[in-house]
Structure 1
Amino acid sequence: MINYLVKKFIDDYDDYKNQRVRQAYGTLCSILSIICNIILVIFKITIGLFVHSVAIQADALNNLSDVGSNLASLFGFKLANKHPDNDHPYGHGRYEYIAGMIIAFLILVVGIQSLKESVVKIFVPEKVTFSIVAVIILVVSIFIKLWMYYFNHQIGNKIDSSSLKAAGQDSLNDVVTTFATLVALLLTLITDLPVDGIIGTIVSIIVILAGINVFKDTINPLLGLAPDKALIDSIEHFIMSYEKPLGIHDLMMHDYGPGRMFMTLHVEVDSREDIMKIHEEIDDIERAIQEKYHIHTTIHYDPVDIHNPQLLALKQQVLEIVQHINENYSIHDFRMVPGKNHTNLIFDVLIPANDQISHQILKNMISAQVKQINDEYHCVIEIDHAFV
């Protein structure tokens, strides 16, 4: 059914990398979710009041919070697609992440309120009236939520939308909570224990945990989440498939919302090559990355001497020294500049982002071991932290 709706309401539905098409997908999913959740709220509130079940009412309130979440997602897609302006030259793509935070907040509010009411029902229970109509409504609700999970999850992955993925996960959580509510209703037939309040409490805790997870998923991109390793490996392999690049370093990626990625990196090239030919190929690589990965890319090229045997041998020795200290370290931009009294070895050392070693201590360790090769070598070292 979702494929039929996509083909009916979305033009150029196969071009989901296009921002206009992406917004259409998000709008369709959000509207479908709003309609489904409103139907579920009406039925569950009615049945919950009729049978005096706090668990069913808690489940209905959870669906009501989902309506707010879907509205936030709907407006998030709309605002995210606004054209860049003078104050926001990188666009408004992060509105989608903000929408995700609103979803998380609403889930948490409803979960905490529901938890409070459910705990009260444990100590001051009310008689729950069993109803076969309520059972039918809850079973239908489970199937509706499974369908909502399917289309939100499927399209969320297709267009790489954190808010739709969150909506899909929330729907899957609702399947669990609604099933628990159904169990509570059935248990009222065989026990006088306050199972309604107990299961209502469990449902509320699941809702709260879901809200926390959604919050984490949306706050990470705003804080600056490291890019996916598979994506970086693919980009590096793609760049190295060209003729001129000899190596890559100082790669940084900035996320301003889905479809609004910016990347900078350095590419090492042969210092004896024609600079105009190098420049032409670098331009080709930047354009190709934009077309293939939809990432705005700026490449700085570093000329390196690959024809000096002494330099290459010395670079390998220094690399072995650095990796003996930590196998995850690497070096780049290695140069040798002879002077009157000593020879400068100028290079950068790349260390992992979470490495907390003192830069000065690391420089001293490397310099001391390099001097054992030749006392006339003087190291000029720059320490870089990896951003990928």
Structure 2
Amino acid sequence: MDQQQRYHNLKMGERGAIISIVAYIVLSSLKLIIGVAAGSEALKADGLNNATDIVASVAVLIGLKLAQKPADEDHQYGHWKSETIASLIASFIMMAVGLQVLYQAVVSIFESGGEPPDPISMWTGLFCAAVMYVVYRYNRRLAGQINSQAVMAAAKDNLSDAVVSIGAVIGIAGSQLNMPWLDPLTAVLVGCIICKTAWDIFREASHHLSDGFDESLIATYKDMIAKVSGVQEVKDIKARNYGNNEVIDVIIVVDADTEFQKAHEIATQVEEELKKVPVIYEVNVHYEPAEPVEDQEGGGLR
């Protein structure tokens, strides 16, 4: 995949973020208004959950835009990591809101007068869950088309929001069956889900920013390199993420008698093979001659 196509994919990824922002603004407003009017703590908590998702989606959108900036003197590798930094900031905001939702829900459990919320809050939750599921399907398809981890993460967040809305509906329905405590209890669960989502985003973003990398992918790439003709051994391989892109550094071992031009061709083949993987942005290959092997029978070198 060439660099122009990568920038085009980032531009397309903005669509998913914008659709999520619009959906979250409308649904969070609806949930908060109906939740307050109907007296449903679960629906209000779900509305606050969507409010944090607005911030997260805006952060992803800003990150996608900044990531499209070309390399300059201060960022010679480009601005690919802007998206990851934005996700990290969003996780802090989401955690703060999640803790606030938990606090309000726990207080509500002890202060509740036992009045169940109006049934309209239940239908509102069902409607919002259906809308978020449609948004999830769109973003999942878009993420597959442009091979974007960020948009796929947004799609998973859309799905979790649909599930949270269903949970809120269950809590509200339970409160209609003479179990008013179930509504604020569901709000507690929603707060826990917000905090867990924030933690997952923080963990993934910090892992990428600290140059962490999936070990199973390392093993897969190592096997790909080992199959290239002329490679005797993969001496070392390292990888790191730049936004949705991957940079691979590898040291291969070739036959000691291999001419320089042939060794260079082998290294080029390794680079071309790895770049068949769409997310791999750059490959740095260093080659070394194989060390002489001692002849076990004659005691010499061969």
Instruction: Please classify the TM superposition score into its range, dividing by the shorter chain length.
Output: 0.7 to 0.9
For 2:65, which of 60, 71, 78 is the aligned residue? Answer: 78
Indicate which of 231, 250, 262 corresponds to 1:277.
Answer: 262
Larger radius of gyration: 1
Q: Identify if the C-alpha distance between structure 1 residues 208 and 238 changes in structure 2 by more than 3 Å, giving closer, same or farther.
A: closer
Matches within 5 A, 1:278-357: 278-290=263-275, 292-293=277-278, 294-305=280-291, 309-310=295-296
Gap change, CA 1:213 and 1:307, over 3 Å in 2? closer
Q: Which amino acid aligns with 2:188?
A: T
Alpha-carbon distance in 2 for matches of 1:312, 1:304: 20
Matches within 5 A, 1:212-251: 212-229=199-216, 231-251=217-237
Partner of 2:121: 134
* Aligned counterpart in structure 2 of residue 167 of structure 1, from 149, 154, 168: 154
Q: How many correspondences in the alignment?
A: 301
Closer, same or farther in 2 for the Cα pair 1:184/1:240, shift >3 Å?
closer
1:111 positional shift: 0.9
Q: Following the alignment from structure 1 to structure 2, what is the Cα–Cα distance between the partners of residues 250 and 70?
A: 38
Contact 1:97 1:162 in 2 (8 A): no
Q: Deviations over 1:202-248 (max 9, x none)?
A: 2211221221122112211112222352x434433443343322111
Identity %: 25
The 1:254/1:313 distance shift into structure 2, 3 A limit, reads: farther
1:149 is aligned to 136
Q: Secondary structure at the match of 2:213?
A: coil
SS in 2 for 1:244: coil
Q: Give the distance between the partners of 2:247 and 2:3, measured in 1 at CA.
A: 19
Q: Is the alpha carbon distance of 1:248 and 1:17 closer, same or farther for their aligned partners in structure 2, counting shifts above 3 Å?
A: farther
Match of 1:324 in 2: none
Larger mean Cα displacement after TM superposition, 164-173 or 30-39: 164-173
Distance in 1 (alpha carbons) for counterparts of 2:53 and 2:219: 37
Partner of 2:76: 89
Shift of 1:164: 2.6
Structure 2 residue ranges without an equivalent (≥5): none
Q: TM-score, length-normalised on structure 2?
A: 0.87
Q: Could you tell me how far apart the structure 1 residues matched to 2:187 and 2:194 are? A: 10
Q: In the alignment, which residue of structure 2 is the partner of 1:69?
A: 56
Greater relative contact order structure (CA < 8 Å, 6+ sep): 2
CA distance 1:72–1:133, change in 2 (3 Å): same
* In structure 1, C-alpha distance between the alignment counterparts of 2:298 and 2:65, rounded to whole Å: 54
Deviations 1:312-337 (A, max 9, x none): 999xxxxxxxxxxxxxxxxxxxxx8x
CA RMSD of aligned residues (A): 2.9
- The structure with the largest strand share of the pair is 1
Aligned-partner SS, 1:268: strand
Structure 1 residues 190 and 240, CA gap change in structure 2 (3 angstroms) = closer
Residue in structure 2 matched with residue 348 of structure 1 by the alignment: none
State the Cα deviation string for residues 232-268 of structure 1 (Å, max 9, x = none): 3443344334332211111122322222x32222211
Q: Could you tell me how far 1:29 is from its partner in structure 2?
A: 0.4
Within the alignment, does 1:116 sit opposite 2:107 as a pair?
no
Among residues 161, 176, 185, which one is paired with 2:172 in the alignment?
185
Letter in 2 for 1:297: V
Give, in whole Å, the separation in 1 of the partners of 2:108 and 2:16. 36
2:46 corresponds to 1:46: no
Match for residue 102 of structure 1 among 68, 89, 92: 89
Moved more, 118-127 or 25-34: 118-127
Does the Cα contact within 8 Å between 1:52 and 1:126 map onto a contact in 2? no
Q: Higher helix fraction: Structure 1 or Structure 2?
A: 2
- TM-score, scaled relative to structure 1: 0.69
Aligned residues of 1:306 and 1:312 also touching (Cα < 8 A) = no
SS at match of 1:267: strand
Seen in structure 2, the aligned counterparts of structure 1 residues 198 and 82 have a Cα distance that, compared at 3 Å, is: same
- What displacement does 1:42 show? 2.0
Q: Distance in 2 between matches of 1:312 and 1:85?
A: 59
C-alpha distance in 2, partners of 1:290/1:109?
Answer: 41
1:112 Cα shift? Answer: 0.8
Q: 2:247 aligns with which of 262, 265, 274?
A: 262
Contact 1:246 1:267 in 2 (8 A): yes
1:163–1:280: structure 2 CA closer, same or farther, 3 Å change rule? closer
Structure 1 residue 27, shift from structure 2 partner? 0.4
Please report how far the alpha carbon of residue 32 of structure 1 lies from its aligned counterpart in structure 2 after TM superposition.
Answer: 0.8
